[in-house]
Every structure is written in structure tokens, then in C-alpha cells.
Amino acid sequence: MDPAQLILWLKLLSTGMELIGNLKLSTGREPTAEEEAEIIVERDRLNAAWAKLAPTNGGDA
């Protein structure tokens, strides 16, 4: 297996486990104000990271 592909699968696995943890929390009770703030900070961090990966030539590759 290509190492980059292995990294993607490992990422998928770890993200999936983290997601299950979050979903378990959110279905058991209402998220606290602190948890709400944390998930918003994480969203902003991910949005910024994704924006940095935008194609510079308009996506004609």
C-alpha cells in the first residue's frame, strides 16, 4: 500500500473514532457552552487549513 494512502486510512480511522466520541456526547445530553465553543474553534481552524489548500490557478489541473 502507498504510504500516503495508509496515512489517509489511519486518518479516517482516528477521525471516525473521534466522531463517535462526539456523537455519543451529543446524543446523551446537550453540549455545554464550553463544548460548543471548542467545536466552533475547531471548525474555524479546519476552514482556515482547507482555504490554504485552495488551488492557485482556478482548478484547471
Partner 1 sequence: MGRILTMERKGAVVFAMWLLLGAFAFFVWTGCASTPKQQWYTGQSIYNASLDVLITGRTAGYISDKDFVRIEGYRRLADASLKGMHEAVQDGNLDLFQAYLVAYRGALDRLVQEAATVDREQKRIARDKKKLNAISEEE
Among positions 27-56, residues that touch partner 1 (CB under 8 A) are: 27, 30-31, 35-36, 39-40, 42-43, 46-47, 49-50, 53-55
Residues in the chain: 61
Cell of 4: 500516503
Q: How far apart are CA 44 and CA 20, in angstroms?
A: 21
Task: Tell me how far apart the alpha carbons of residues 7 and 27 are, in angstroms, rounded to a whole number.
Answer: 30
Name the site residues for partner 1 (rule: CB under 8 A).
2, 4-5, 7-9, 11-12, 15-16, 18-19, 22-23, 25-27, 30-31, 35-36, 39-40, 42-43, 46-47, 49-50, 53-55, 57-61
